Amino acid sequence: MTSPAGAFAWLPYLPMDIPRGGSASEIAGSELRAGFQALGIAEEPRIRPEGSSESYELVRKDGVITVRGGRQGVLYGAYRLLALLACGRSLPEGVQKPFYPLRMLNHWDNMDGGVERGYAGHSLFFRNNRVFFDPLRIHRYARMLSSVGINAVSLNNVNVIPPMDLLVTGEALAEASKIADILRLYGIRMLLTVDFSLPVRMGLATADPLNAEVIRFWADRAEEVCKVIPDLVGFLVKADSEHRPGPFTYGRSHDEGANMLARALKPYGGMLFWRCFVYNCRQDWRDSTTDRPRAAYDHYAPLDGRFDENVVLQIKNGPLDFQVREPVSPLLLSMPHTRKALELQLAQEYTGQQIDLFYLAGQWQDVFEVMSPEKVSCISAVSNLGSSPNWTGHDLAQANLYAYGRTAWTGRSDPRAYAEEWAEQTFPSAAGKITKLLLASPGVYEKYAAPLGLGFMVNPSNHYGPSPDGYEYARWGTYHRADRDAVGVDRGKSGTGFTAQYSADLAEIYGDPKRCPDKLLLFFHRLKYGHVMADGRTLLQRIYDDHFEGAEEAESLREQWRALHGLVPEDVYDRVLARFDMQVSNAKEWRDVINSFFFRFSGVPDEKGRKIWN
């Protein structure tokens, strides 16, 4: 793919040769020379490596721009310098250092080459049940990640389906280590996802974490893996979740399971990332006493202080599952004696699947408004990348990766600034208009796909498009319980008590329909269709209005894109337009299905007399 911008663009669009030099400062040097030439900058770039940290400083004096920094820091400094110069921004003063020491990307790639919840082609790392990659593509991938400061990646899916469980053994491990060798050049370290029941698969009678043979088994595994990949960050585990095996299978607790694995990794400085996405996925829909958003907190909060110091609990941003709108997970706000990582999702599973435009940085800003960034010690995100030539399927979805990298580096989300930076580097002739599109996109999608915090009205399994009852009588614990009078679940004191998992202040706000923000109203409350909202509209009318407006606004996004013809490269224009066409028809489908759904239950027509199908 050639640069859409002419000589310089954000790195994913730029070609690259496999670097001849090995160290970060050699790579930084050649990237800077090429970048300066492309940008037509006459000043001389200079690299001055000092120490080993990730920090850097950019100094401009007498026609020379110096990047001073640690072994890895100089590469970050070089990429940041190119970004700032491309955007015409001034250089920051003083030493720049990352907020989170670990800024991770989690791929959900399967060994057969598929990507779970992947919307950008197939895996960059696997094919036909083996490790398979194009080295040049991995260089480009690593450079793109490094350019936004990402420094750790897990390659394989959290659902470790055989033969992927053998990735931590023998030949597959040796092959994976070749990817680690490339990533290392760009300051990126690897994690591997492991299957808790691997000991059984390898011939032991049990995977009980307290069994001596099992303990030895994992100690040997960790030793071998860390010999082959000496800078491994550690293991990532999904246990006792959605049918994956875990300590419960053996009558043990999660601290016992996690600590056992962490102790195996400890001699090598390894860390154990333990996901907290644990809930009852075999719920009877008739059971209204079990409330899925409660699950992670109920399960883990009592275990605070029982995890080893190299265990990190990895917690999704919301208590349910990456919905368009959720409150912050109360677990992230609790467990002061436990290390925690925030897990975000760039893969747009519930947010338009990289067909519909959805810029995610606003969601993260909402998280940081409630959770101070120090509450967690690391950050991770499920990848939105794949083999597609533009990496993300939807060209504009690259902005999510860019914004994530900046968020992880700065410890805060600034949606406008990150969108502007990305657009200015990538499509300079249309940067302002593309920024506007990105910033408008989540509000538009939310209007047609997720009324007032109600989630899971999607088609089961593929999670794209509307199906209001698709999950209603299912076992996944995701119910809206709409009837002829009302919709939603009461999660306050008089309901499931979920709000009590927050501080008293927050519990009071969320628990009171008058104070609860509209955007979360139906997440926390069961309300009558006639409930009068702050702006005077009834709940039902607001739902109708949002859906009519959302569908119209999707068309307006497409029109705004059409106006960019000639300002972005033709191939990008065509690809994105084709996606907007799909988005417009998806939005209409959502509008008509959801509006009909509520009209059929309530019998109340739209005040404005617009068409609702009966």
Active-site pick, 44, 220, 242, 469: 242
Site map 339..368 versus ligand GCU, x via CB under 6 A:
----------x-------------------
Site map 262..281 versus ligand GCU, x via CB under 6 A:
---------------x----
Q: How many CB atoms lie within 10 A of CB 428?
A: 19
In whole angstroms, how close is the CB of 474 to ligand GCU at the nearest point? 13
For ligand GCU, the closer CB: 158 or 176: 158
Residue ranges of alpha helices (H) inside 148-211 are 170-185, 198-201
Residue 559 annotated to the active site: no
For ligand GCU, the closer CB: 117 or 139: 117
In whole angstroms, how close is the CB of 464 to ligand GCU at the nearest point? 12
In the 8-state DSSP scheme, what is residue 451? G
CA distance 121 to 452: 32
In whole angstroms, how close is the CB of 530 to ligand GCU at the nearest point? 34
* Helix, strand, coil shares, percent, the chain, to 5: 45, 15, 45
Are the beta carbons of 189 and 226 closer than 8 angstroms? no
How many Cα atoms sit within 13 Å of 201 on the Cβ side? 17
Options 158, 258, 296, 419; binder of ligand GCU; rule CB under 6 A: 158
Find residue 131's DSSP bridge partners: 126
Active-site pick, 326, 343, 349, 546: 349
CA distance 556 to 221: 55
For ligand GCU, the closer CB: 275 or 531: 275
Interaction of residue 117 with ligand GCU, rule CB under 6 A: yes
Whole-Å CA distances, 413 to 357, 376, 500: 19, 15, 27
For ligand GCU, the closer CB: 120 or 173: 120
Find residue 86's DSSP bridge partners: none
Interaction of residue 471 with ligand GCU, rule CB under 6 A: no
The site that binds ligand GCU (CB under 6 A) totals a number of residues, namely 9
Find residue 191's DSSP bridge partners: 154, 234
Active-site pick, 240, 291, 321, 343: 321
For ligand GCU, the closer CB: 117 or 143: 117
In whole angstroms, how close is the CB of 53 to ligand GCU at the nearest point? 33
Interaction of residue 394 with ligand GCU, rule CB under 6 A: no
For ligand GCU, the closer CB: 96 or 345: 345
End-to-end Cα spacing for the chain:
48
Are the beta carbons of 539 and 531 closer than 8 angstroms? yes
In whole angstroms, how close is the CB of 241 to ligand GCU at the nearest point? 6
For ligand GCU, the closer CB: 323 or 426: 323
Of 11, 148, 2, 92, nearest to 425 (Cα)? 11
Find residue 106's DSSP bridge partners: 154, 382
In the 8-state DSSP scheme, what is residue 40? T
CA distance 374 to 261: 26
CA distance 508 to 25: 53
For ligand GCU, the closer CB: 242 or 483: 242
Residue 43 annotated to the active site: no
Options 116, 224, 414, 472; binder of ligand GCU; rule CB under 6 A: 116
Are the beta carbons of 607 and 537 closer than 8 angstroms? no
Site map 72..111 versus ligand GCU, x via CB under 6 A:
----------------------------------------
Options 3, 30, 159, 556; binder of ligand GCU; rule CB under 6 A: 159
The two beta strands, 130-131 and 152-156, are unpaired
In whole angstroms, how close is the CB of 284 to ligand GCU at the nearest point? 19
In whole angstroms, how close is the CB of 349 to ligand GCU at the nearest point? 6
Residue 224 annotated to the active site: no
In whole angstroms, how close is the CB of 120 to ligand GCU at the nearest point? 16
Binders of ligand GCU among residues 284 to 323 (CB under 6 A) are 321
Binders of ligand GCU among residues 193 to 252 (CB under 6 A) are 238, 242
Q: Tell me how far the alpha carbon of residue 457 is from its chain's centroid.
A: 21
The two beta strands, 152-156 and 189-193, are parallel
Residues 6+ apart with CB under 8 A from 577: 558, 561, 562
Residues that bind ligand GCU (CB under 6 A): 116-117, 158-159, 238, 242, 277, 321, 349
Q: Known catalytic residues?
A: 242, 321, 349
